[in-house]
Amino acid sequence: MKNNDKKILLHACCGPCSTTALERLLQDYFVTVFFYNPNIAPHSEYTLRRDEAKRYTEQAYGGKVLFVEGQYKPDVFLKAVKGFEQEPEGGLRCEICYRLRLEETARYAKENGFSLFCTTLTVSPHKNALLINKTGEDLAVQYNGLTYLPSDFKKRNGFRRSVELSQSFNIYRQNYCGCIFSLSPYSICKGNA
């Protein structure tokens, strides 16, 4: 049973990761999706991911879920990761990126009357849920009055469920994390850049 005080701001990185997170969170919370991803490049990829996340939210849940887009400022991401461009996937560059996106989510939550926030990032088997949750919990302390809802949405077949829902709704599934530094030569050859 939902409680009107159970509003949660869900940071969404893409449509596929939104699927499982929304399915689970909507059992207990009123969810607003916050799409803030200045790391995604090129701009055409950002637009595609945003549009797919929004389309899924609207098709699957109609007016039950609000969709809010944060500002797309890739220069903010590039400045934050300067000097860490050559880090491997899952390294310090990714930690900085998680923090950047979750901090903006916490700021938005605080300014817009949310007491809870969370992220879809933990759906991916390539993401470190412990690190992401620690980052969110640290930011909740920094933004006094907020609570971060720790999650590992890939557990209990969450990643598999995201693939199923993505196929059912014909959601674009990307083949790289999002930043230009994670874009592989394979992706460039396949025309995804």
pLDDT at 71 over 90: yes
Count the Cβ atoms, other than its own, within 10 Å of residue 13: 26
CA–CA dist 29, 39 (Å, integer): 28
Record the pTM: 0.91
- Give a three-class secondary structure readout of 31-69: EEEEECCCCCCCHHHHHHHHHHHHHHHHHHHHHHCEEEE
Q: Say how many residues make up the chain.
A: 193
* Confidence (pLDDT) at 183: 79
Average pLDDT in the chain: 91
pLDDT tens for each residue of 131-160: 999 999 999 999 999 999 999 999 999 899
Domains identified in the chain and CATH numbers: 7-189 (3.40.50.620)
H/E stretch holding 131: helix 129-142
CA–CA dist 28, 164 (Å, integer): 22
* Confidence (pLDDT) at 188: 39
pLDDT at 191 over 50: no
* Confidence (pLDDT) at 192: 37
